Amino acid sequence: MIYLRIKTGTKGFDDVINGGLIPNRIYVLSGPPGSGKTTFGVQFLAYGASTGAPGLYVSLTRGAETTFENMSGYHINIPMLTRRNELFFKDVKSMPDYGDSDTSISPSTIYAKITDLVNRYSIKRLVIDSMSTMRFSIKDHTSKDMEIGRFIQNLSLLDCTTILISEMVDPSTYSTEQYACDGLIFLHNFMRGRSMTRAIQIIKMCGTAHDCEMRKLDFTENGLRVSDKIV
C-alpha cells in the first residue's frame, strides 16, 4: 500500500520516514524536559497551516499563550498564521483552579472541547501538550490506562493528524499512549563528551520502513533540524 504522506516541517526528518507522516493517524512524541517536544509540535502545525491545513495547539497546562510567545521568535511566521486563523493556540483545562467548583474535568470533557475546536476551525493538524498533564484529570487511579486508551480511540474518529506530547522520565517503561499510537518518536537530551546533545529517534512508525538510529537534532533560527546519525 502506498500512502500519501504529509511533511512534518522539520528539515531532515521527513526523509527518514519515507517522505512524511501518514495522515489522520495518531503519533506520540516523548522526551525529557527541554528536548524540543513543543517546538517540534508547533513546527508541525505551522508547516501544515502555511500549506492549507489549519492547525490547533492544545495546552492542558494553561500554557498556550506562553508557547505562542516562545515560538514567535522563529523564522516561521506564527503570528501571521494565527492572525489569518490558520493556526490556533488554545488552553483546555485539565485541573480545577483553587476555589474552583468545577470538578467535572476528565478526558471526556477535554475531548469534547477539542472536538468542538476541531470542527469549528476545520482543523487538520492537532497537537496536545501533554498526555502527562492529561493524567491529572483522571481521579480514579485504577482507570487511568483505560481512560487514556478511550481518549486515543476517540481521537482517531477526528479527521486530524495528531501529535500527542508525552513527558518521558524513564525510557524503559512505556505508557498507554505509547502502545496505542500509530507512531512513536523519542527526543533525547544527553551529555556527549562535555556538551549537551539533542537527538531524535523513531521507535515505531506503522506502515513505514525506518531505522531506529538516533539522529542529531539542532535548534536553528528556522526551528528544529535533523542531521546525521549519532555513532
Ligand X SMILES: Nc1ncnc2c1ncn2[C@@H]1O[C@H](COP(=O)(O)OP(=O)(O)O)[C@@H](O)[C@H]1O
Distance CA 158, CA 180 (A): 16
Given 96, 219, 227, 229, the residue binding ligand X (CB under 6 A): 219
CB of 36 to ligand X, least distance (A): 4
3-state DSSP call for residue 66? helix
Given 9, 20, 31, 54, the residue binding ligand X (CB under 6 A): 31
- Piece in contact with Mg ion (CB under 5 A), picked from 33-41, 106-114, 143-151, 212-220: 33-41
Tell me which of ligand X, Mg ion, none is bound by residue 52, counting a contact when its beta carbon lies within the kind-specific cut-off of 5 to 8 angstroms. none
Place of cell 493528524: 161
Cβ proximity to ligand X, 2 vs 169, nearer residue: 169
Distance CA 105, CA 152 (A): 17
Site membership for ligand X, residue 191 (CB under 6 A): no
Closest CA to 204 of 218, 190, 225, 186: 186
**C-alpha cell recorded at residue 1:** 500500500
Site membership for ligand X, residue 38 (CB under 6 A): yes
Non-local (6+) Cβ contacts of 194 within 8 A are none
Cβ proximity to ligand X, 22 vs 40, nearer residue: 40
CB of 38 to ligand X, least distance (A): 3
**C-alpha cell recorded at residue 65:** 499563550
Distance CA 79, CA 98 (A): 32
Distance CA 229, CA 231 (A): 6
Site membership for ligand X, residue 33 (CB under 6 A): yes
By CB under 5 A, the residues from 38 to 77 that bind Mg ion are: 38
CB of 220 to ligand X, least distance (A): 8
- Residues that contact Mg ion, how many (by CB under 5 A): 2
Site membership for ligand X, residue 37 (CB under 6 A): yes
Given 8, 10, 30, 35, the residue binding ligand X (CB under 6 A): 35
CB burial of 78-91 (b: ≥16 within 10 Å; e: otherwise) equals beebbeeebbbbeb
The angle subtended at Cα 168 by Cα 165 and Cα 170, nearest 5°, is 160
Site membership for ligand X, residue 52 (CB under 6 A): no
Residues at the interface with ligand X (CB under 6 A)? 31, 33-39, 73, 219
